[in-house]
Structure 1
Amino acid sequence: MLKNGRRTLRRTPALLTLVCVLLLTACLNVSLPGAFTSASPPDRAARQASLASDPPTQEATLMAVGDIMVHSPQLPGYLDAATKRYDFSGWFERVSPLFQEGDWVIGNLETPLAGADLKFTGYPKFNAPEQLAVDLREAGFDLVSTANNHAMDRGFAGVQRTLRNVRKAGLIPVGTAESPKDAERTAIVDRGGIRMGFLAYTYGTNGIPISKDKAYSVNLIDPKRMAGDIAKLRKAGADVVTVSLHFGTEYERLPNDQQRKIVRSAIGSGADIILGSHPHVVQPYDVVSVPASESGLKQNRKGVVIYSLGNFVSNQSGDWKDVGLIFSVHVVKKRQPDGSSLTTWDRIGLTPTAVHIENSGSKRHYTVLPIRQTLDERKDASLTEADYADLKAKLAGIEQHLHTYEQ
């Protein structure tokens, strides 16, 4: 009932009625004290309307994945020779049912979708078929971060085309813009009365310059700018602020000092949830407390960060590069006696994933597997006993790694 209800709701552009959400049964749940609070001021007229229509407690769940990549070997197996059209839906068929439990689903789209005339290529300068955006939407995604080091791989024209293709598919892009007016938009998505604001930034664009007259096109990490953008979201009514940060060192399994510093700055400025990408391997999560003396808001702040979500889908393998994570945060908004509201979170979910690559002649086929569920069911005919053993080892290793910073 939840799945069907959610799919109906998500296709309704108006404010959505929330079905009470439970975290995935196929993931590891971590119960934590409320890590952030956001109070909305009481308004007597609004309070009366709220009392008449809104439930006293509202709940919703954010789900996030890491790098959505398209290397050259990923393309041949997904082109229909007759229609000349691509279909990537098979990549997500095993995880798509899980996304039905989320109210906001976001991933890092680490490739332009700039059109066939600009040539489809993989590393080092990416460009993938625009059908990927359609398949992501059908798989259950709501938003994609487009601020990453490959955002400019097809220049400013690529940024524009990617945004248009993403929006045409029904996804909300975060972190890039095709005009100054576009850059002024705020990405706030309401789910059952909980308004979550989204921001995204990258450390750079692989040395590809962004012209001064188009500085708005890709959000670069700048603590002062982030603080201003977060404040803008709060003023626009966001109960919760989620920031995607493309940063860190590739293939390093622990965050570096710069990552930690940027995260503390963002949380101190009002961010609640930080979603990291770029290392292409999973880095641990942490709950970060920032005292009032360090906070730009001059108040004690606390937020949750996953320093890197790893690769969600790619052609990379070995050394943890084929392991990713579905990171979930359960958000609760409660009406207070004075008519204000208090928004907190009470638990997170950690669902490790793995990319299974199956060779078929000169073509490769890819499937994103939820590891724990795949091991529990053991009914995938394409997996050998060696594959199951490999998944078991990956699950044990990644679960231990994720909890590195638990106290």
Structure 2
Amino acid sequence: MRRLLFYFSLLTLILVVSSYYFVQKKYMEPQFSSIQDKVTGSGEEINTETSEEPGNQSTVITSTATLSAVGDVLIHDRVYNPAHVGNGQYDFMPLLTPVQAYLGEADISIANQETMIGGVGIGLSSYPSFNSPHEVGDALKESGVDVVTLANNHTLDRGEEAIRNAIDHWNKISMPYIGSYVSSKDRMKIRTLERNGIIFSFLAYTYGTNGISVPKNKPYLVNLIDEEKIEQEILEAKELSDVVVVSLHFGKEYQRLPNVEQKKLARQTANAGADIIIGHHPHVLQPMEWIERADGKCSFVAYSLGNFLSGQKGDYKDIGGIMQIKVVKVDINGEKVVKLKDPSFIPTFVGEDYVVSPLKQVAGKEAVYKKIINHMKQWMPDLKFSF
């Protein structure tokens, strides 16, 4: 009888301890199911949720921001001459009006300003040594562009004077620029922008400068592709931001698919920690792709966004587009998780009058539009073609 009473008491004690453990575990574990719902579902730009369950007081903040990008802004004389309005003044706004709403729709928009806007003071010029009016920058700014990349093969076309003139104007209109700088101090400052509680950082590099040597004592004039330097600067950018955006001027002109070198560099850049990689230089569209990183995360790469505004015609050189991707950050008591989702793309077309329009709205281009859709989504079936 005593032995039976002992076993009954022991069993009761075990049941009491087990019940206490499971109750405490329930209260102490973070509620990951609600976080997953916030990441995959739609919601407000910033959403804060506080749990007040006994033994667990946690705060979950969900933030959402969109980033868009366009390809090359390559201003030939046949583009800037018709834009002249007299007295050395130019107006490029009519060329961008049909796509202005798409550029302004995103929280941050980036453009590759391939030609330096050194201004009329040093003389405008076209291919092969470009120099463009300041007003190109004004039109981009007014159309909703927030950042311009300057590292490309034409950066040194007109030398340091054009670079300084251009950067003076970018500063005048409060437009952040990346990839070309006026001093070492200027170059050391990593550009960041914050939208809806999410901090983005921006870096840019080019494969070369058309054979023009970068002054040895002024390497800051243009960022050249250097894998070790890129990796180091991505690490520095990650300390300052939630999302690292890297622009790469690479590949072969007029090739509609990325080459082996592009894919290799994109993967290395992703594994170094870049979240979004934006490519340009081929002057034609190349597909987009998700890159699975060694750390288990995914990076997004657009190998080439083609020409956005240029004087080039035919063979897909007059087709570009506006890319957009959504960034979602979930912050749980200071621990953050960042995800990319909903990649989308609006193909654009530069007409005979150099007006940039959504390709879908251009009469007679229906078959071309379908080809571009198939081309751009061949490695990314989830790519959407509306914002």
Pairwise TM-score range, normalised by the shorter structure = 0.7 to 0.9
Give the residue type in structure 2 aligned to 1:269: A
Q: Deviations over 1:358-385 (max 9, x none)?
A: xxxxxxx32110122x25xxxxxxxxxx
The equivalences for 1:246-285 within 5 A come to 246-285=249-288
Shift of residue 321, structure 1, vs aligned partner:
0.3
Tell me the alpha carbon deviations over residues 16-43 of structure 1, each in whole angstroms, 9 at most, x when there is no partner. Answer: xxxxxxxxxxxxxxxx989xxxxxxxxx
Which residue of 157, 164, 170 corresponds with 1:160?
Answer: 164
How far is 1:118 from its partner? 2.0
Cα distance change of structure 1 residues 401 and 33 upon mapping to structure 2, 3 Å threshold: farther
Corresponding residue to 1:405 among 376, 379, 385: 379
Cα deviation, 1:261-310, whole Å, max 9, x if unaligned, reads: 1001100000011100000000000111133xxxxxxx334211010000
CA drift of 1:84 comes to 3.2
Asked if structure 1 preserves the Cα contact closer than 8 Å seen for 2:88 and 2:120, the reply is no
Counterpart for residue 395 of structure 1: 369
Q: Does 1:368 align with 2:342?
A: no
Q: Hey, what does 1:349 align to over in structure 2?
A: 344
Is residue 102–residue 322 contact of structure 2 (8 Å, CA) maintained in 1? no
Amino acid at match of 2:327: V
Partner letter of residue 347 of structure 2? P
- Which one is further off, 116-125 or 280-289? 116-125
Query: Offset at 1:75?
Result: 1.8
Alignment of 1:50-89 (within 5 A): 56-81=61-86, 83-89=87-93
The root-mean-square deviation of aligned C-alpha atoms, in Å, is 1.8
* C-alpha separation in 2, matches of 1:370 and 1:201: 29
Which residue pairs with 1:327 in the alignment? 323
Aligned to 2:290: 287
AA in 1 matched with 2:187 = A
Q: Secondary structure at the match of 1:56?
A: strand
Letter in 1 for 2:289: D
Which letter maps to 2:172? K
Matches within 5 A, 1:205-244: 205-236=209-240, 238-244=241-247
The CA distance in 2 between the partners of 1:88 and 1:169, in whole Å, is: 16
1:145 & 1:316 partners in 2: Cα distance?
Answer: 20
Cα deviation for residue 405 of structure 1 reads: 1.8
Secondary structure at 2:174's aligned position in 1? coil
Q: Tell me, yes or no, if the aligned pair for 1:59 and 1:332 is still in contact at 8 Å.
A: yes
Aligned partners of 2:88 and 2:104: how far apart in 1? 30
Q: Whole-Å Cα distance in 1 between the matches of residues 303 and 80 of structure 2?
A: 29
- Is this contact kept in 1: 2:104–2:145, CA < 8 A? no
In the TM superposition, residue 100 of structure 1 has moved relative to its aligned partner by 2.3
Q: State TM-score, norm by structure 1.
A: 0.78
Deviating beyond 3 angstroms after TM superposition, the runs of 4 or more aligned structure 1 residues are: none
What's the CA shift for 1:117?
3.0
Task: Work out the CA distance in 1 between the residues paired with 2:366 and 2:251.
Answer: 28
Measured after TM superposition, the shift of residue 225 of structure 1 is 0.4
Q: Is the 8 A contact 1:268 1:301 kept in 2?
A: no
Greater relative contact order: 1 or 2 (C-alpha under 8 angstroms, separation 6 or more)? 1
Q: Tell which structure's C-alpha radius of gyration is larger.
A: 2
Q: Report % sequence identity.
A: 38
For the residues of structure 2 that align with 1:339 and 1:268, how far apart are their CA atoms?
Answer: 24
1:215-243 superposed Cα distances (whole Å, 9 cap, x missing partner): 1221011111011101111112x100110
Matched, 1:315 2:307: no
The match for 1:195 is 199
